[in-house]
Amino acid sequence: MKNYLAFIPNILSTLRLGLACLFPFCPEALWVWIILGSGTSDFLDGWCARRWKVASWQGGLLDAIADKMFMIVTLITFAMAGKFVLWWIPAVIARDLTVGIAAGYAATTRSWGSFRDMGARWSGKVATAGQFILLLTVVLFPGMIPAALFVSVFCSAIAAGDYSLLFYQALRRQHPERKTSTR
């Protein structure tokens, strides 16, 4: 039975990828339901994987890719619809950009182990919650966008700093012989 349960979290993450692809083509009346469906699948895939002890690094990677893709596609769709300013997007996804840069650095310097050891963090979960709150605010409470944007950007910045520190510490453990310069 456990073999079949292992597929459920990945199916939920794949569903979120599908919702990301579908979002730009749906009428605005469905946006809130797609966002709620994506948020629910994000919560359930992690919960199921931990509950049933079927979590894997590959499943975590699929979950992260699905999260980032849904967020970016949704924010760009909002910007194209005139509901969100395009230049706000990098601030909202600062944590995701930081993790992406760390992954690129790890891949090009053959330090993949230092990146792979980075697990989910409380700050990342808070940043994701802030992003979903922002998405729902854009759809349901447009007058509250500045406040939700501030909360989302603040949470994303905290997570970006937390993940940067974690990656730096992992690099130092993997390559203790490297000296850091203060100049």
Domain ranges of the chain: 1-83, 85-176
Distances (CA, A) of 71 to 9, 88, 142, 171: 19, 13, 18, 28
Q: What is the pLDDT of residue 177?
A: 67
pLDDT value for 108 = 84
In this prediction, residue 29 carries a pLDDT of 96
Q: Which pTM does this prediction carry? A: 0.86
**For residue 63, which amino acid is it?**
D
Place of tokens 């891949």: 107
Among 107, 124, 9, which residue's Cα sits nearest to residue 57?
9
- Measured distance CA(37)–CA(17) in Å, rounded: 11
**Could you tell me if 138 and 76 are in contact, meaning their C-beta atoms sit under 8 angstroms apart?**
no
Per the structure block, which two tokens stand in for 32?
């809130």
Q: Give me the pLDDT at residue 15, please.
A: 96
Q: Give the position of tokens 């939920």.
A: 12
Which residue ranges in the chain fall short of pLDDT 50?
A: none
Neighbour tally for 148: CB within 10 Å: 20
Q: Return the pLDDT at 136.
A: 98
Q: Which residue matches tokens 């944007």? A: 149
What pLDDT is recorded for position 104?
83
